Amino acid sequence: MAEQNFVDYVKICCRSGHGGAGSAHFHRDRFTPRGGPDGGDGGRGGHIILRGNRNTWTLLHLKYRKHVIASDGKPGGASTSTGASGKDVILDVPLGTVARDAETGEIHFEITQHEEEKILTPGGRGGLGNNHFKTATNQAPEYAQPGEDGREEWKILELKVLADVGLVGFPNAGKSTLVSTLSAARPEIADYPFTTLVPQLGMVSYRDHKSFVIADIPGIIEGAHEGRGLGHRFLRHIERNATLLFMIPCITENIRKEYDILVNELRQYNPELLDKPRVLAITKVDLIDAEIVEMLRREEVPQDIPVVFISAVAEQGIDELKDVLWATMNKDAEESGF
């Protein structure tokens, strides 16, 4: 049921409101039978706006709302009165939501702050009333601007998970098992690829009542940056994690090669991902003895990042992993003296 409720991609048709027409009215009263132009401006059409909401975690509420329509602006009136603007439509979205054009793929913006508002589809401008067009040679213009048409556009909203630690690994690397061990989250666990189809978030308790959020990103495969497997759909979640925890089983034929493949997938998708702090966890060490662990530590694991040997099932190395992750996440703050 949780997987059905987590929606991280929607495509919606947005139609903003038309601007109201300007008025071509002339001032008239009992003492002024032929007054000058006093037509007011039309009101702008309604915008379609995205608003960040930290209490929202999914785009489920937009999954079946294929058409979002804002109202039109009202026409201008006499006495240079401006018509009312069309009512805006405000869509609450989770933090980490990216909006882009469905046809061109152009990214418009990303919502990252609570109550941050950005216009997704602007409404049409209201037309100017005839009051704006009077001149010394034309003191009674009989025309006014029509309102600007609204826009009808298809937009794509994509959600990137926001977490302190994101798990990176091939399917069946033990990511879901680790999340269930570290937190109260209960992701589906089974011995077949792509058990995890949506990101799972878990709150990890640490020392002195501290905590951090960990995200179980669905497993990637070689060629994911080209869209293979579940590809781009899940790689984008990694972008919104502060620290990356690579996970490789100890029974892998070549640990260093698998690590290099994972790093290359991230590099091909977005080179900036490699600027994030990294930790490597060698998993399932309950299947090997201490002598093999030491051999792997000396000969196969990378030496340029922190490495922790763990078993989520046997709960080996879990406290050490928490310590390493916490130190890695807070390294910059400690170096800055905060």
Kindly state the helix (H) or strand (E) to which residue 215 belongs, with its residue range: strand 211-216
Residue 311 pLDDT > 70:
yes
The mean-pLDDT minimum among 73-82, 150-159, 171-180 falls in: 171-180
Determine the residue type at 205: S
- The β-bridge relationship of strands 200-205 and 278-283 is unpaired
Give me the chain's average pLDDT, please.
85
Instruction: Dump pLDDT digits (tens) for 109-127.
Output: 999 899 999 999 999 999 9
pLDDT of residue 200: 72
CATH superfamily, with its number, for domain 1-159: GTP1/OBG domain (2.70.210.12)
The answer to whether domain 163-336 has CATH 3.40.50.150 is no
For Cα atoms 17, 100, 167, give the angle at the middle one, nearest 5 degrees.
140
Token pair recorded at residue 187 = 């992701």
Answering whether pTM is above 0.75, one says no
pLDDT of residue 231: 40
Instruction: Dump pLDDT digits (tens) for 190-227.
Output: 344 444 445 677 888 898 888 888 887 765 655 544 44
pLDDT of residue 237: 72
pLDDT of residue 235: 67
**How many other C-beta atoms lie within 10 A of the C-beta of residue 137?**
5
Query: Distance between the two ends of the chain, CA-based, in angstroms?
Result: 42
Confidence of residue 280 (pLDDT cuts 50, 70, 90): very high
Q: Where are the domains of the chain?
A: 1-159, 163-336
DSSP 271-329: GGGGGS-EEEEEE-GGGS-HHHHHHHHHHTS-SSS-EEE-BTTTTBSHHHHHHHHHHHH
Rounded (10°) CA dihedral 48, 102, 154, 198 = -70
Instruction: Please compute the mean of the pLDDT values over residues 301-329 and round it to a whole number.
Output: 92
pLDDT of residue 31: 85
